[in-house]
Structure 1
Amino acid sequence: MNFLICLLLGFVIASLGSITPSFLNLTVVKYSLRNGKKSTFYLIAGYATVLFFQANLGAYLANILMKNSEYITLIQQIGTGILFLLSINFFRVHFSSKEKKKEKEIPKSKSYFYGILMSLLNMMAIPFYFTFISLLIGFEYFEHNLLNAFYFSIGSTIGSFTLYTLYAIVAKNIEHKLTFIASKMDFILGCLTGVVVIGNLIYLLNK
Structure 2
Amino acid sequence: MNFFTCVFFGFIVAASGSLSPSFLNLTVVKFSLKSGLKAALFLIGGFATVLFFQANLGAYLSSILMENSEYITLIQQVGTGILLLLSIYFFRLYLTKEKTIKRVEIEKSKAYMHGIGMSLLNMFAIPFYFTAISLLIGLDYFEYSFINALFFSIGSTAGSFTVYATYATIANKIEHRLTVIATKMDLIIGCLTGIVGLANLVYLVWFK
Q: TM-score, normalised by structure 2?
A: 0.77
| Per-residue CA distance 1:39-59 (angstroms, 9 max, x = gap) | 221111111111111100110
The aligned counterpart of 1:4 is 4
- Report the AA paired with residue 107 of structure 2: K
Distance (whole Å) between structure 1 residues aligned to residue 78 and residue 113 of structure 2: 30
- Report the AA paired with residue 140 of structure 1: D
Deviation larger for 137-146 or 172-181: 172-181
- Report the AA paired with residue 19 of structure 1: L
1:131 CA displacement: 1.4
1:106 CA displacement: 6.9
The aligned counterpart of 2:190 is 183
Whether the aligned pair in 2 keeps the contact of 1:59 and 1:133 (CA below 8 Å) is yes
Change in Cα spacing, 1:116 to 1:142, as seen in structure 2 (3 Å) is: same
Deviation larger for 191-200 or 153-162: 191-200
Q: Which secondary structure state, in structure 2, belongs to the residue aligned with residue 170 of structure 1?
A: helix
- 5+ residue gaps, structure 1, are 202-207
The aligned counterpart of 1:25 is 25
Distance (whole Å) between structure 1 residues aligned to residue 50 and residue 79 of structure 2: 22
**Superposition RMSD on alpha carbons, in Å?**
2.9
The aligned counterpart of 1:133 is 133
Change in Cα spacing, 1:154 to 1:88, as seen in structure 2 (3 Å) is: closer
Change in Cα spacing, 1:147 to 1:79, as seen in structure 2 (3 Å) is: closer
1:13 CA displacement: 1.0
Whether the aligned pair in 2 keeps the contact of 1:11 and 1:156 (CA below 8 Å) is yes
The aligned counterpart of 2:101 is none
The aligned counterpart of 1:204 is none
Change in Cα spacing, 1:144 to 1:86, as seen in structure 2 (3 Å) is: closer
Q: TM-score, normalised by structure 1?
A: 0.77
Identity, in percent, stands at 48
Change in Cα spacing, 1:102 to 1:157, as seen in structure 2 (3 Å) is: same
- Report the AA paired with residue 114 of structure 1: H
Q: Which secondary structure state, in structure 2, belongs to the residue aligned with residue 144 of structure 1?
A: coil
1:197 maps onto 2:196 in alignment: no
| Per-residue CA distance 1:122-176 (angstroms, 9 max, x = gap) | 2111111111111111222110011111110011000000011011011125672
Whether the aligned pair in 1 keeps the contact of 2:86 and 2:190 (CA below 8 Å) is no
- 5+ residue gaps, structure 2, are 99-103
Q: Which secondary structure state, in structure 1, belongs to the residue aligned with residue 63 of structure 2?
A: helix
Change in Cα spacing, 1:192 to 1:6, as seen in structure 2 (3 Å) is: farther
1:113 maps onto 2:113 in alignment: yes
